[in-house]
Amino acid sequence: MKYTFVWLLIYFFYGCTSPNKNAIAIVNAPEIEKNIMSWLYYERDYMNWSADCIAYNEQDILITKKDFLKQLTTGKYIPVRLQSKDSIIQYQLSIAHNAEVGNLIRNKAIVESHYDSMRGMPLPNFNFKTINGAIVGNNSTPRKTYVLNCWFIHCKSCVAEFSQLNELVDAYKNRPDIGFLGLAFDSTDSIKAFLPNHTFKYTIIPNKEKYLMDTLQIIGFPTQLIVDSTGHIMNVYSNLNEMKAALKHL
């Protein structure tokens, strides 16, 4: 897949045992883990969990993103963002000394590691019925790249994002090759009763709780996916801004 190709290019240029002796941290590890709020502000400003990146272990050896996330799921490490002269995101693993912060990072990394493992996989059972009875999926003509929003009516964070998601629909209205789908837990009747008071411009797919929870194993809500025109998952996003940035490159 193309994601493997990207990594091979990075591997070629940097080498599997390339030292990272001249790396400079944007924020030093003790400041990152000083307390929970320090980590949360750092995560907001410097972590891009869904992006491709260059990562080093605590011995300054280059590792894959998969291994980087796997190490973070142990709760023993902090991801330190490194300064870079280009747009490539770089991280260095550092031993965690604050157990509370380490546990927060662990929980987040478990989610992101699962989402990262979904990249390049075909979206299962991509044949959805909208609240209006239309069919959208792999057999649709013409095929499109789809942005999927996973949500439910009683998710306050999901509803709070509607205005930004509506802006996306408006911004890409001249891109017929991109479609926007909202996969919801709720029934058609519940959603139709809800929408008059909550404008949401995505095409809504009802009755998807089991699909989202059991088939895709979405861990938090709202979550976004971008699915390419062949029905394969390009990426999964727990952060809306990361998805919006990725969408600009399509």
CATH class of 121-248: alpha beta
Q: What is the mean pLDDT of residues 75-82?
A: 97
Which segment of 17-21, 139-143, 221-225 scores lowest on mean pLDDT? 17-21
Flag whether pLDDT at 150 surpasses 50: yes
Residues 234 and 123: their CA atoms lie apart, in Å, by 10
Question: pLDDT band at residue 9, thresholds of 50, 70 and 90?
Answer: very low
On the 0-12 / 13-18 / 19+ scale of CB atoms within 10 A, 224 is buried
List where CATH 3.40.30.10 sits in the chain.
121-248
pLDDT of amino acid 139: 80
- Tens-place pLDDT, residues 160-198: 999 999 999 999 999 999 999 999 999 999 999 999 999
Q: In the chain, what are the helix, strand and coil shares in percent, each to the nearest 5? A: 40, 20, 40
Over 60: is that where the pLDDT of 11 sits? no
